[in-house]
Amino acid sequence: MHGGAEFGVMSDLPRPFPPGDYPVVVVGSGPGGLQVSYSLRQLGVPHAVISADPSPGGMFRRWPLFQRLLSWTKPYAADGAGSPRYERTDWNSLLADEPEARALQATHMDGASYFPSRPEMEANLVDFAARAGIEVRYGCAWESTARIDDGSEMRFALTTSDGVYRCRVAIFAVGVAEPWNPAIPGIELAHHYADVRPPPSYAGKRLFIIGKRNSGFELASGLLQWAKSIALASPTPARLSVVTKSLMGVRARYAQPFEDNALGGGCVILDAAIDRIVAEGSALRVHLRRSSDGSALSVEADDVINATGFITPLRDLPALGVATFGQSRLPAQTAWWESATIPGIHFAGTITQGAPSLSKNGIPPNSGAVHGNRYNSRILARRIAETAFGVAPLATPVSCDGLVPALMREADQSADLWHQRGYLARVMTASTDHGIADRGMMPLTAFLDEATDTDGVALTIESDGTGAIYPVLYVRRHGNIAEHRLPDNEMADFTTAEHRKAMAAAVADLGT
C-alpha cells in the first residue's frame, strides 16, 4: 500500500510547463534543447521546454545503430575535467557553470573506447538534465504552428498534443532526424537506415547500400562479418576524413570497408547513379549508370538499404514562410541562428549547421555535432537575452596592456574557437571613449558584417585542410577589416614569442 502510494505520487507529479503563454518555448530535449535551456536559465530568461520524447537524449536515444559515436571523449588528455582545454578533447559533454554538471561524458564510459557507446552518450545527456535541473515537459508533441499578429508584436502559437503554447520567441531543436528517401523508381523495395534490422538477420545476405557517407560506411563496417557481400553506391566518389584532414568525408572509424574493397574481401564501392530497383523473384536488382562514362551495370542483392540521410522535421514551418535549402531541408538562417525569413523563430542543436559560414578553404563549422553546436546554443541564449529580454550586452573592460595577453590566453585555452574553427570568434572592441571591451563570443560573420565604425578585433582558430591549425585575427580599423594569419605550430602552442609579436603588431594602437 505504502509503495503503491509512492508510485501514485510519482505519476501524479504535475508535469512542468502546461500549455499557455511563455516568453520563449524550446522544442526538443536532445543536446541542442538541453544546452539552450540551460544557457537561457543562466541568463534569467523564462522559458518552457517541450519534447515529444519520453526522456532526454534526442537522436542518441536511437542512433547510431552500431553502438558507438563518431565523437570522442578523452578523460586524461588535458588539464583535468572541467577546464576549457579539457573540452577540446571532450566532444560529448554539455556545458555548465557548476562543476557537478560539467564534463559528465567520461563518468559514463568504461574505457573500452574513446568513442562513447550510444547508451553511454544517452546516459551522459540524462545525467546532465538531472544534475543541471533541466525541466522538460516530456510526451508533449509539437504538431503545428501559427503566427499571431495582435498589432503590437508578432507571436507564435504552437499546437501540441497537450494544447496550445504561445510565445514571442520559439526555438526549434528538433534535430535532423526524419528519414529521407531519394526519388528512385523502386525505392519502396529498399529499407532506410532508420529501419535496419539486428545484424544477425543479414547473415549470408547480399547487401546493397545506397549512399557513401558515414551512415553508409557505418552500416558496411557493422555488417562486414555478417553479410555475404556488400556493395555501396552513389554518384560521387567517397572521401576520407584522414585525406581531407577535416571532419569532411568518411571517418577513420568506418574505413574498414575501403581496406576490404582494396584487398578483395567482397566489399564493392561504386561511383554510379542509381537508376531503379526492381524485384526479381525473391531477390532485388539495382540498375546503375557509372559516373565515369554513363555505362550501365546492375547488381543483384537480397537487401537494399537506403543510407541517403535525414531531413529536418520542420512540420508546417515551411508553410509558415520558413525558407529551407539543401538535401537535408535545413532552414535558412541568419548568422545568429534565426530563420532568415521569419524573425522570432530560432534554431538550436544540429540544425544550426544550416547557418551561413565562411567555410574558408572548404572547412565547414562543426555545428552539425554536439562539440560544435553546444557553443552555438550558449551564444544563441545570450543573443535572445540581449535582443528580447533587456539583458545588457557583454562589454567587460580590458586594460590597454591587457589586450594582447587576453587574446593569447584565448588562443591557448578556448574550446569554443578550437571546435568552431573559422566560425566562432572572440571579439574585443576599442575606442578612445570607452577603451577596450571584451564582447565575448559571436559568429565571425556577425563581427565582419557589423555596421559600425568602432575599431575591433576578432580572434579565431582556423585550419586549411593541410593539417595546419593556427589563430587568425580580423582587425577592423576605420571600418576596414584586415585578416592576419598567425603561425601554425605542430604542438598547437600559440603562446610563443612569435605569436605574441604577431598579435601585438596586428592590434597595435587599435581604437586610437
Give contact residues for another protein (rule: CB under 8 A): 182-183, 234-237, 271-273, 289-291, 294, 323-327, 329, 332, 334, 340-341, 354, 356, 358-364, 422, 448-449, 464-465, 481-483, 485
d(CA 323, CA 63): 28
Is residue 398 within 8 Å of residue 406, measured between CB atoms?
Answer: yes
Q: How far is the CB of 291 from another protein (least distance, A)?
A: 4
Is residue 342 within 8 Å of residue 324, measured between CB atoms?
Answer: no
Q: How far is the CB of 95 from another protein (least distance, A)?
A: 28
Residue 385, classed as helix, strand or coil, is helix
Euclidean distance between the first and the last CA atom of the chain, given in angstroms as a whole number: 77
Q: Which residues contact 58 (CB under 8 A, 6 or more apart)?
A: 28, 29, 30, 31, 32, 33, 125, 173, 175, 177, 349
CA-to-CA dists, residue 261 to 216, 250, 255, angstroms: 14, 15, 10
Give the nearer residue to another protein in terms of CB position, either 39 or 312: 312
Give the nearer residue to another protein in terms of CB position, either 129 or 457: 457
Torsion sign over Cα 131, 135, 140, 142: negative
Tell me phi and psi for residue 52, to 5 degrees: -75, -20
Q: How far is the CB of 99 from another protein (least distance, A)?
A: 38
Q: How far is the CB of 510 from another protein (least distance, A)?
A: 18
Give the nearer residue to another protein in terms of CB position, either 210 or 305: 210
Q: How far is the CB of 309 from another protein (least distance, A)?
A: 11
d(CA 88, CA 338): 27
d(CA 66, CA 48): 34
d(CA 386, CA 381): 9
Q: How many CB atoms lie within 10 A of CB 94?
A: 27
Q: How far is the CB of 292 from another protein (least distance, A)?
A: 8
Give the nearer residue to another protein in terms of CB position, either 100 or 449: 449
Give the nearer residue to another protein in terms of CB position, either 176 or 437: 176
d(CA 161, CA 99): 36
Give the nearer residue to another protein in terms of CB position, either 356 or 435: 356
Residue 308, classed as helix, strand or coil, is coil
Residue that the C-alpha cell 571579439 belongs to: 427
Q: How far is the CB of 335 from another protein (least distance, A)?
A: 9
Q: How far is the CB of 481 from another protein (least distance, A)?
A: 7
Give the nearer residue to another protein in terms of CB position, either 219 or 322: 322
Give the nearer residue to another protein in terms of CB position, either 98 or 483: 483
Question: What angle, rounded to 10 degrees, do the helices at 118-131 and 31-42 form?
Answer: 20
Q: How far is the CB of 375 from another protein (least distance, A)?
A: 21
Q: Quick one: cell of 261?
A: 574493397
Give the nearer residue to another protein in terms of CB position, either 239 or 251: 239
d(CA 492, CA 78): 13
Name the pairing type of β-strands 435-443 and 424-431.
Answer: antiparallel
Q: Quick one: cell of 131?
A: 544534475
Give the nearer residue to another protein in terms of CB position, either 162 or 178: 178
Give the nearer residue to another protein in terms of CB position, either 163 or 237: 237
Q: How far is the CB of 484 from another protein (least distance, A)?
A: 11
- In which region does residue 311 sit, left (phi positive, over 0), alpha (psi from -120 to 50) or beta (all else)? beta
Q: How many CB atoms lie within 10 A of CB 465?
A: 14
Is residue 267 within 8 Å of residue 208, measured between CB atoms?
Answer: no
Give the nearer residue to another protein in terms of CB position, either 157 or 323: 323
Q: Quick one: cell of 190?
A: 529498399
Give the nearer residue to another protein in terms of CB position, either 165 or 208: 208
Q: How far is the CB of 105 from another protein (least distance, A)?
A: 30
Q: How far is the CB of 48 from another protein (least distance, A)?
A: 28
Beta bridge partners of 100: none
Q: How many CB atoms lie within 10 A of CB 25?
A: 24
DSSP 74-108: -TTSSS-TTSHHHHHHB-SPPP-SSGGGSS-GGGG
d(CA 29, CA 10): 21
Q: How far is the CB of 211 from another protein (least distance, A)?
A: 10
